[in-house]
Amino acid sequence: MTSPAAADHPPGPLVPFFSQAATFAALRPRIDRELNEVLDDGKFSHGAKVAQLERALADYTGARHVIGVNSGTDALVLLLRAAGLQPGDEVVVPAFSFVASASAVVLAGGRPVFADIEPVGYGLDPASAERVLTPHCRFLMPVHLFCQLADMPRLSALAERRGLRLVEDSAEAIGMRQDGVHAGLLGAGGVLSFFPTKTLGAIGDAGAILTDDDAIAATADALRHHGRPGRTIGDFRTINTSSELSGCNSKMDDIQAAVLLAKLDRLDADIARRAALAAAYDERLAGLPGVLRLPTVVDRGTAAAPVHYVYLIEVERRDELVAHLTRHGVESETYYPLPLHLQPCFAELGHRPGDFPRAEAACARTVALPLYPDLPLDAVDAVCDRIRSFFTGTGARP
Ligand SMILES: *Cc1c(COP(=O)(O)O)cnc(C)c1O
């Protein structure tokens, strides 16, 4: 018997953009154990589970300090403040990124200065970054997007030559390394986001700051908890402690830390699964008419460890393809539909279309295909068949 409620719900998409139902089914006993410990501990906000996750992430990344906070965005804001950003300081940010990269600068009291991306690879272009520098620029903030680090050898050299502090928006970059050094640890510090769809995702919002710098860590630790040494429920000493800095409430929830600890065990296996799925897409999409570019790992002259967080391709007639995929039950995403310099919230910076042509072209041509450890291989076939049918008018594979 079909209930009226079931009839009201149309079937889900054939291939959802993201799903982790199978992961959670498999991890359920481990997650339940972790969550029971949180319930028994009774702290819930910045308690023992958060401290345990911070230690586990320090082991995984090699960071001297990991500071758990409530989102990747807040991690960026607190990192910039802890790294010494003063009101009005300028921060060079790529024009192609998630809006948080630039709004974090504004929230920290600074001013974003946009630069274009490199010809291949979507990272901040060192030459463009150098061209936009002003005497007020104090920070360079590369963003590591999709599958590899920005050009850190050249960006580090630029930062050194021009006396800039390097902070990394490594929100997407868990697992990515350069010559064995984890993303976020190539300059003053970096961040991680644990938004549910990220490579290591929570069941809500969470983030972390990574740094090897003791002073930055101490300040960020205080800023996440109203300028006081971070403590949890029941630690009455800190409620009466004076605040040296005006901070915010950006503590991490223990429930998120519990789920992240359970998922951290499988992170390397998840990354390997993502790589296998990316290779399957590569094989099926190579040479297809209408597909202009597949994910490309640019050689930076260093030992790179790519991580396929997003499988992003460039295509002709992107919006029509997206509509075609949607009609055929395949969900996709556009990362990112509008470049930052043309976002209404940054209009006062006075940019116009044409200012950063590579960022603008990327926004017009890119589409992200479903990529997550639970994705079955036949779903990759289904997605690629539908892309082929759009560009060639035939669904059959040769
Ligand atoms: C996800 C992301 C952020 C923000 O992280 P939240 O946890 O969603 O606040 C910042 N920058 C980039 C590049 C991201 O992908």
At residue 398, the 3 state secondary structure works out as: coil
Query: To which H or E segment does residue 244 belong?
Result: none
Does residue 122 have a cis peptide bond before it, meaning omega lies within 30 degrees of 0? no
Q: Which of 70, 91, 172 to mutate to test the pocket of ligand 1 (most atoms within 8 A of CB)?
A: 172
Tell me if 193 CB under 6 Å of ligand 1. yes
CB of 310 shorter than 6 A to ligand 1: no
Ordered by start, the domain boundaries in the chain are 23-264, 266-392
d(C-alpha 267, C-alpha 174), whole Å: 9
Q: What is the pLDDT of residue 241?
A: 65
Indicate whether residue 143 lines ligand 1 (CB < 6 A): yes
| Residue 206 alpha carbon, nearest atom of ligand 1 | 7
**Tens-place pLDDT, residues 58-104:** 999 999 999 999 999 999 999 999 999 999 999 999 999 999 999 99
Counting from 1 in the atom list of ligand 1, the atom nearest the Cα of 144 is 13
**CA 121 to each of CA 174, 293, 362: distance values in angstroms, whole numbers, following the listed order:** 17, 11, 10
- CA of 145 relative to ligand 1 center, distance in Å: 10
Looking at the domain that runs over 23-264, which CATH code has it been given?
Answer: 3.40.640.10
CATH of domain 266-392: 3.90.1150.10
Q: Atom 2 of ligand 1 has which residue's CA nearest to it?
A: 171
- Residue 116 Cβ contacting ligand 1 at under 6 Å: no
Strands (E), the chain: 65-69, 90-94, 111-115, 137-140, 165-168, 177-178, 181-182, 189-193, 207-211, 291-293, 304-305, 311-315, 366-369
Per-residue model confidence (pLDDT) at position 2: 41
pLDDT tens track for 338-385: 999 999 999 999 999 999 999 999 999 999 999 999 999 999 999 999
pLDDT of residue 239: 57
**What pLDDT sits at residue 234?**
61
With a 6 A CB cut-off, is 71 part of the ligand 1 pocket?
yes
Q: Is residue 305 very low, low, confident or very high in pLDDT (cuts 50, 70, 90)? A: confident
CA–CA distance, 281 with 381 (Å, rounded to integer): 8
Identify the residue whose C-alpha is closest to ligand 1 atom 14: 171
Q: Whose CA is nearest to atom 6 of ligand 1?
A: 72
Provide the whole-model pTM. Answer: 0.94
Task: Decide: 68 in ligand 1 pocket, CB within 6 A.
Answer: no
Q: For the segment 263-278, what is each residue's pLDDT rounded down to a tens digit? A: 999 999 999 999 999 9
Question: What is the distance between the alpha carbons of residues 204 and 395, in angstroms, rounded to a whole number?
Answer: 38
Average pLDDT over residues 147-155: 97
Report the nearest atom of ligand 1 relative to the CA of 73.
9
Does ligand 1 have an atom closer than 6 angstroms to the CB of 335?
Answer: no
